[in-house]
Amino acid sequence: MRRLSILSVRPGAVLAHPVYDGRGRLVLRAGSELSGHQLERLQALGIRTLWIVDPRAEGIEPIEPVNPLTESRILHVLHAMFSQGPDGPDFTSLLHALREAAGDLASQIGALQSPRVPLAVYPPALPELPVHSLNVAVVALACARTGGRMWDRSRDLALGALLHDLGRAPALARGEPAYHPVVGWQAIKDDVLISALTKVIVLQHHERLDGSGYPAGLRGQDLHPLAQIVGLADAYVASLEGRDGSKPRPPHEILEEIMGSGGFEFDYDVVDDFYRAVAPYPPGAMVLLSSGRKGLVRGIDRLPGRPPLRLLAEDDEKSPQWEDIELLSPGHQTEVIVSVLPE
């Protein structure tokens, strides 16, 4: 099975996983063959990706960092929070519901067997704020887990990451987008159930080690290490999505850029944890190689940019043919992944 953007799923495809709505209610069972009408209905319900049966992915074990019920719950709560804003009537109850879910999210990432963690929602093709926020939280938790950084505060980290862009829409509406960390912080600063650490993460997620960030231009020791982790996770996820009119970029380019920011924008150790924690090409992703051939990622290996691959011989889903290769082995070591394909 493979996870695809709903825009890439064709009628006739078979669901490999059940689909739930934001309240945890079953919408469609695993094994259902999807009609065009059902696909439209799922899109209208806010479903953005689907797990689909694909014979070419036989034997490839996907990694699901977040339980589907937790995922749909978090996306539902974030959607409600962001659409009604900090002044909305249900803001406080939504905030507290998200705090509970952040604890579940942190324990799920902590319990994951895989040493590297892919995004929660992949591909991140549609840069919607709830999906962005969940992906940032998963990457930040993965970094903290790998680096063994303050894991006892992982719930506060998860909640800070989920809330990091809470002030984005109101700040944009005021014509002051760079002020959004302050607007988000103001919305939660008086809530006694939300930890000081979560509040600091929201306020500092765009500050940078060398003082080049905003809103305060803090530097060095003045930045909380977990706020730096969220800042780095945010930079990575935003570049993958393509933000503010820029095109989505391939993971290897972004990884190189982030490696180069060590010691300047981000602490070396944080960059090192990130490099060891992320799985930029999750099992099941379809990639294009420099040779022009297409392949499916088979698993996760020690080098993030060179995962084991299944080279697809031809684009025929009925009688698929393939060859399983290692990108590091003789005959293949000059081939590199150049992009992730939508299907």
Burial letters for 291-321: b for 16+ Cβ neighbours within 10 Å, e otherwise? eeebbbbbbbbeebebbbbbbbeeeeeeebe
Q: Are strands 294-297 and 309-312 parallel, antiparallel or unpaired?
A: antiparallel
Tokens at 6, concatenated: 């709903």
DSSP type of residue 296:
E
Q: Which CB, 123 or 307, lies closer to Fe ion?
A: 123
Answer for the pair 141, 157: CB distance below 8 angstroms, yes or no: yes
Q: Which CB, 124 or 295, lies closer to Fe ion?
A: 124
Q: Which CB, 218 or 289, lies closer to Fe ion?
A: 218
Interface with Fe ion in residues 31-70 (CB under 5 A) = none
Q: How far is the CB of 52 from Fe ion (least distance, A)?
A: 29
Say how far apart CA 252 and CA 180 lie, in whole Å: 29
Q: Which CB, 167 or 283, lies closer to Fe ion?
A: 167
Tokens at 7, concatenated: 């825009």
Tokens at 153, concatenated: 């505060």
Q: Which CB, 244 or 315, lies closer to Fe ion?
A: 244
Say how far apart CA 50 and CA 40 lie, in whole Å: 13
Q: How far is the CB of 289 from Fe ion (least distance, A)?
A: 31
Is 265 among the residues that bind Fe ion (CB under 5 A)? no
Report which residue type is found at 2: R
Where does this chain touch Fe ion (CB under 5 A) — which range of 67-75, 104-112, 163-171, 264-272?
A: 163-171
Report which residue type is found at 305: G
Answer for the pair 31, 15: CB distance below 8 angstroms, yes or no: yes
Where does this chain touch Fe ion (CB under 5 A) — which range of 58-66, 96-104, 230-238, 291-299?
A: 230-238
Q: Total residues at the site for Fe ion (CB under 5 A)?
A: 2
Where does this chain touch Fe ion (CB under 5 A) — which range of 210-218, 226-234, 258-266, 309-317?
A: 226-234
Q: Which CB, 132 or 145, lies closer to Fe ion?
A: 132
Q: How far is the CB of 47 from Fe ion (least distance, A)?
A: 22
Q: How far is the CB of 259 from Fe ion (least distance, A)?
A: 21
Q: How far is the CB of 320 from Fe ion (least distance, A)?
A: 38
Cα–chain-centroid distance for residue 238? 9
User: 54, 71, 207, 234: which one contacts Fe ion (CB under 5 A)?
Assistant: 234
Q: How far is the CB of 273 from Fe ion (least distance, A)?
A: 19
**End-to-end CA, the chain:** 13
Number of H helices, E strands in the chain: 11, 9
Residue 309 β-bridge partners: 297, 325
User: 54, 71, 165, 207: which one contacts Fe ion (CB under 5 A)?
Assistant: 165
Residues of this chain that interact with Fe ion (CB under 5 A) are: 165, 234
